[in-house]
Amino acid sequence: DSAEVETAKKAFEEMGDWLSEQLATHAPKEDAVGRERYQRFSHLFVGDTVDLDEAYTWGLERLHEIDAEQQAIARQLYDTDDVRQAFRRLNDEPDYTLHGTDALLEWMQKTADRAVDALHGTAFDIPEPVQTIECCIDPAGTGGIFYTPPSDDFSRPGRMWWSVPAGQEKFHTWQELTTVFHEGVPGHHLQIGQTLVERQNLNLWRRVACWNSGHGEGWALYAEQLMEELGHHEDPATRMGLLDAQRLRAARVVLDIGVHLGKKVPEGTMTWDATYAKAFLRENTAMDEANLRFELNRYLGWPGQAPSYALGQRLWEQTRDDAVAQGMTVPEFHSKALSLGSIPMSILREQLLD
């Protein structure tokens, strides 16, 4: 209906005017939100108190470690220290290249199914309804991979979607294998599916609506690293892909804390700002300019959220190690932890550890 379209158009125009003429005039001039506010944001997203200075130092150390590992793999594969050159050459390798969405969909489904078969009865006891995951191509075509949960009664399965932009015909499995583990099994599908199974113990809000970033995204990164520990990245090419993903997550920790706490940059005396942050992100990721701008705006406008992925992963790993030291097996830890639903990491530790 044209009248409804005009009404909606007018509403958006009025909203735009309000944002630019009223709200924007009160916007702060500084990129940093400051230590006190940032500490609160960090606690909200991670679900535990974070030593921000220690986390910043840890992030820098992880970047150095990852860079050294990537250079070692580049030398192993192509006799070069140039990691980006290794990326380009991997993209030219037929063994790691898929052509067309049909081949992509088949690879996604086989990879997800193999992960279920490999993990059930070993690192996990996967409930029967969660053993099914359906892979799909998202018609929206906006790029990226994402996951949609099963219905609460499992009449609709959990689904992993690849949103393929129009015209894209090549896909590089060396880089995306770890993403399939992140979104599928043992990542979000296993995490959310296990929560939905707990109908007798968790109310609807805890099964469906409750989400803590450090717990949820931290688990997905924990799942990626777990697959490396279990031998699913013995191929140096896919390990390079895992490290590429980990490098972005470590860079987020450093950048986000650096900008919002107004820290000195790693190699100089100047203070972090948006300009330096953009150059730092470009150095540590393989993003195109459009995605780089999006990521940077996200960090500036959503302080504390992006680091919660890697910081949450670190807490998951620490909690598992502590639980095992107290006598719990790894499969028991996974089962007990995921049965609690998405909760702050401090509460997870309280529930699992003596």
pLDDT of residue 290: 82
Pairing between strand 145-148 and 158-163?
A: antiparallel
Mean per-residue pLDDT of the chain: 95
- Report yes or no: 138 and 144 within 8 Å, Cβ to Cβ: no
- Report yes or no: 341 and 81 within 8 Å, Cβ to Cβ: no
Compute the average pLDDT of residues 41-48.
98
Compute the average pLDDT of residues 179-192.
98
- Write out the H or E segment, with its range, that includes residue 41: helix 35-46
CB atoms closer than 10 angstroms to residue 171: 19
Compute the average pLDDT of residues 136-160.
94
Compute the average pLDDT of residues 30-50.
96
Residue type, 230: L
pLDDT tens digits, one per residue of 312-325? 999 999 999 999 99
**What CA–CA distances, in Å, run from 71 to 78, 82, 155, 174, 206?**
10, 7, 47, 16, 43
pLDDT tens digits, one per residue of 246-267? 999 999 999 999 999 999 999 8
pTM of the full structure: 0.93
pLDDT of residue 1: 67
Q: In the structure, what pLDDT confidence band is assigned to residue 95 with cuts at 50, 70 and 90? A: very high
Closest listed residue to residue 176, CA positions, set 200, 143, 202, 208? 143
User: Measured between alpha carbons, how far is 72 from 239 in angstroms, rounded to an integer?
Assistant: 11
Both structure tokens of 88: 């380009």
pLDDT of residue 288: 80
More confident residue, 295 or 222: 222
**pLDDT surpasses 70 at 13:** yes
pLDDT of residue 2: 86
pLDDT tens digits, one per residue of 266-322? 987 899 998 999 999 999 988 888 888 888 998 999 999 999 999 999 999 999 999
C-alpha torsion angle, residues 192, 196, 198, 199 (rounded to 10): 160
pLDDT tens digits, one per residue of 238-250? 999 999 999 999 9
3-class DSSP state for residue 65? helix
Compute the average pLDDT of residues 52-69.
98
User: Measured between alpha carbons, how far is 96 from 93 in angstroms, rounded to an integer?
Assistant: 6
pLDDT of residue 326: 97
Q: What percent of the chain stands above pLDDT 90?
A: 89
Compute the average pLDDT of residues 114-125.
97
- Could you tell me how far CA 98 lies from the centroid of its own chain? 23
Closest listed residue to residue 98, CA positions, set 141, 137, 147, 142? 137
